[in-house]
Structure 1
Amino acid sequence: MLSACPDGSEAFVSCTIEDGRKSLDVCLEGDIVTYRFGEVGQPPELAMSVPVREVEFEPWPGVSRSIWEAVTFRRGDYAYEVFGGFHRETNHETEEVETEPFGGVSVRRGEERVAQLNCDPGPTGYGFSSAIYDAKVDAGQCWDNREFVWKEGRASGGLCAGR
C-alpha cells in the first residue's frame, strides 16, 4: 500500500492524483486525523488535523458490491470529503472475487461541488480498516445507523443503544 503517513500511524487513504503530480493522504495517529494534499515531494498545499471526536466519518453501511468509507474535514465554508474503497466483482470463469480500489476527494463550498479529484488508477492506499471507527468508539462515541450520525455514548459493538 502507498503511504506517506508517519510511522506508527494508520492510512485511511494515501494516493497520487493528476498522473502522480499531487498526493492525498489521510492518516490516523493516536486520536488525531490528518488531511494532507499537495505536490509530491513538496510541503502540503493544505494540511488539517482534527481530533477523531470532531472528524466526520461515514463507515461502510454493510451493503452493495462496493466497500467504501468517507472522512470529511471542514475549513471555513469548505468541506473536503475524502473517500476510499473498492469495487468487488466475481469473476464468473474462476469464481474468484476481484477488487478494484478507488479513492479521492470531493471539495464543496456550501452545497456546491467545486472540485472532484480521483486517485490515479493502480494501487490506491485504501485499506479497509476499522481504525477510525474504533478510535471514535474509544473516544466515547457511537454510530447511529438509522440517522447516519455519530452520537455521544458507549454501546455494544460501537452502535448506539437500541440500534
Structure 2
Amino acid sequence: MTRAHLLLALAPLVAPLSAAADCVGETLVSCPVDDRRRLEVCLDPGAPASEPAFTYAFGPPGAPELTLRAPLSDGTVTPWNGVGRSLWESVAFNSGAHVYEVWHAFDRLTPDAPLEAGVNVLRGDDLLASLTCRPGPETQIAPIFALSDAMTDAGWRRDLDAGVWRPTDQAPAD
C-alpha cells in the first residue's frame, strides 16, 4: 500500500482538525490526559522574525504549566521506521535534562483502530512518565505522517543513511 493510499484510507478515521484556542498555527495533537491537564502540540508557521517550529503545551487548559518550542531546523521529528504493525512518528522537545517526546500512532492491522497519541517524559534513557490522550470529542490527533509532512513541506528531507533531516537543497554527506 502506498503512502498516498494509506492516507486516503485513514482520512475517515480522523476528526477535522481546527486550531485550538491556545494554538498558533495548525493543531497536531490536542487532548486531555487526565481530569485537569491537556497536551497540545502545534505547528507554528513562524513569522518574519522566527522560523517555523513545533510547539508544546502541557497543563490546565488555557494556563499550561510547561510550554516548549522546537524549531523545525532542530530536526527532532522521528519518522516511522517502516517496521511493525503500528504506524507512528514522534517529535521531541528538549528542556534541560528532560525530553518530552510526543507521539501519535495507528495500528494498521486492527480494523477501525483509532489514532492514538501521548507524551513520554525522559531523563537520559530513563522513562519518568508516559501519558496517553483520552479518547473523546475533545481529542484531536493529526493524521499519521503529519509531522514528517510538515518537515518536507518546510523544505527538509530525511537522510535515511545518516538518520537526520537536511535542507532539501543540501547534498547528502559522504
TM bracket (short chain): 0.7 to 0.9
* Separation in structure 2 between the aligned mates of residue 4 and residue 145 of structure 1, nearest angstrom: 34
Residue 55 to residue 15, structure 1, CA distance change in 2 (3 Å): farther
Higher percent of residues as helix: 2
State the distance in 2 between where 1:118 and 1:79 align.
16
> Is contact 2:24-2:43 (8 Å) kept?
no
- Give the match's secondary structure for 1:108: strand
Q: TM-score, normalised by structure 2?
A: 0.71
Query: 10, 27, 33: which is aligned to 1:11?
Result: 27
Whether 1:37 aligns to 2:58 is yes
TM value normalised by structure 1 = 0.75
Give the root-mean-square deviation of aligned CA atoms. 2.8
- 1:129 Cα deviation (Å)? 5.3
- The unaligned stretches of length 5 or more in structure 2 are 1-14, 46-51
Please report how far the alpha carbon of residue 133 of structure 1 lies from its aligned counterpart in structure 2 after TM superposition. 2.7
1:81 and 2:96 correspond = no
Cα distance change on mapping 1:61 and 1:36 into 2, 3 Å: same
Measured at CA, do residues 69 and 143 of structure 1 come closer, stay the same or move farther in structure 2, by a change above 3 Å?
same
CA distance in 2, matches of 1:88, 1:154: 33
Residue among 117, 132, 135 paired with 1:118: 132
Query: 1:85, 1:126 within 8 Å by CA — same for their partners in 2?
Result: no
Deviations 1:20-58 (A, max 9, x none): 421001100211211000023x41000012321125001
Which residue of structure 2 lines up, in the alignment, with residue 61 of structure 1?
Answer: 81
The CA distance in 1 between the partners of 2:31 and 2:103, in whole Å, is: 11
| Distance in 2, Cα, partners of 1:22 & 1:140 | 34
Pairs aligned (count): 150
Structure 1 position 89, deviation (Å): 2.9
CA-CA distance at 1:84 after TM superposition: 0.7
Report the Cα distance in structure 2 between the residues aligned to 1:131 and 1:154, rounded to whole angstroms: 22
How far is the alpha carbon of 1:14 from its aligned partner?
1.5
Distance 1:88 1:134, change over 3 A: closer
* Runs of 4+ with deviation above 6 angstroms: none
- Please give the per-residue CA displacement for 1:94-146, whole angstroms capped at 9, x wherever unaligned: xxx42222111111112211111111134642222555434433555321223
Aligned-pair CA distance for 1:85: 1.6
Alpha-carbon distance in 2 for matches of 1:111, 1:73: 15
Of 90, 99, 104, which aligns to 2:113? 99
Distance change >3 Å, CA 7–CA 102, structure 1 → 2: closer
SS at match of 1:98: coil
1: CA distance between counterparts of 2:117 and 2:105?
6
